[in-house]
Amino acid sequence: MSTSPEWAPPGVDPTRPSVARVHDALLGGTENYAADRAVARRLRTAVPEVVELVWCNRAFIGRVVDFLVREAGIRQIIDLGAGLPTIENTHEVAQFAAPGTRVVYVDVDPMVELHARQLLRDTGNAVAVTADARDVDAVLGHPALVRVIDFSRPVAVLAIGLLHLFSDRDDPHGLVRQYMEVLPPGSHLAVSNMMAAPNPQAKALEAMLLATMGTGHFRSREAIERYFDGLELVEPGVVHLPEWRPDRPTAPLAPWERLLLGGVGRKP
C-alpha cells in the first residue's frame, strides 16, 4: 500500500496524525504518513523508552489473550482500538490457542480495517470494522460484528492502550460499563491505562501526547481499578503490565515500565 501524501484511502486525512498510525511508526511499520512519523519522532525525543512501552503493551495483549482462551475458555473477543496489525495479533494468538476463536477488531481509523482486511482474507472467524469505540451501539450493532459474535455466549472485550485516549468528559468508566452490561455472565474485560505518577517520564509523555495528539489522559491507580467495578478481578489484579502473569521471572521494573497499569476482570 502506498503511504505517500498524494494518496490516502477514503476517510483518511494524511495531514492529521492518528493514534493507530503513530503506533505503527513507532514500531517501524510502513502504514503511516509524514505527520504520523513527525509525532513519533517527538515522542521518542521526549521519552526515548516510548517504543519499549508500546511493545510492553503489545506483550500484555498477547498474555491476556492466551489466558482468556486457554484458561478462561473464551472463544469470542472484541478488540477495541485495535490499531494497525503488527506481529502476534489478537486473532493469531487466540486461534493458535484454540482454532475457531472469533475476533473482531474495532478502530476509528479506516486504515486499520483496510490493512486488516488483507491480513484476514483467509480467516473466516476474524473481521475488522471501522467504528468509534465510544459509540457502543454502533460497535455492537455493526453488521460485520453481529455476524461473528454470538451475544448469548461469553465475550471478552479488550480495551488495552485505549482508555487513556479518552478524557473524563468521555466517561471511560461508563463506557466499559456499557459494554459489559450487554454481555452475558462469564464475559471478561481487559484494560490498560497510563498511570499518573510524579516521575519525569510520565509527565513528559503525558505533555507530549496532549501537545501532539490532543489526547493522553493519565489516571490514578484508584481510577484505573474502578474500570473493574462489579467484576471479579483475575489474579494478580491491577498491576504494572510486566507483572501481569509474566512468561518468565521479572527483573525490578524500569521507570518507564511503571507508566502503565492493567488487569482483567470477569463478569459474575
What's the rounded Cα separation, in Å, for the pair 108 and 75?
24
Domain ranges of the chain: 19-226+256-266
Compute φ and ψ for 233, nearest 5 degrees: -70, 135
Architecture of domain 19-226+256-266: 3-Layer(aba) Sandwich (3.40)
Q: What does pLDDT average to in each consecutive run of 10 residues of the chain (268 residues)?
A: 58 89 91 93 89 92 98 98 88 95 96 86 88 97 97 98 94 98 98 88 82 86 98 98 92 88 98
What's the rounded Cα separation, in Å, for the pair 217 and 5?
30
- Asked whether the beta carbons of 187 and 154 are under 8 A apart, the reply is yes
So what's the pLDDT on residue 145?
97
So what's the pLDDT on residue 143?
97
So what's the pLDDT on residue 203?
81
**Cα atoms found within 13 Å of the Cα of residue 44, Cβ hemisphere only:** 14
What's the rounded Cα separation, in Å, for the pair 215 and 102?
31
So what's the pLDDT on residue 3?
44
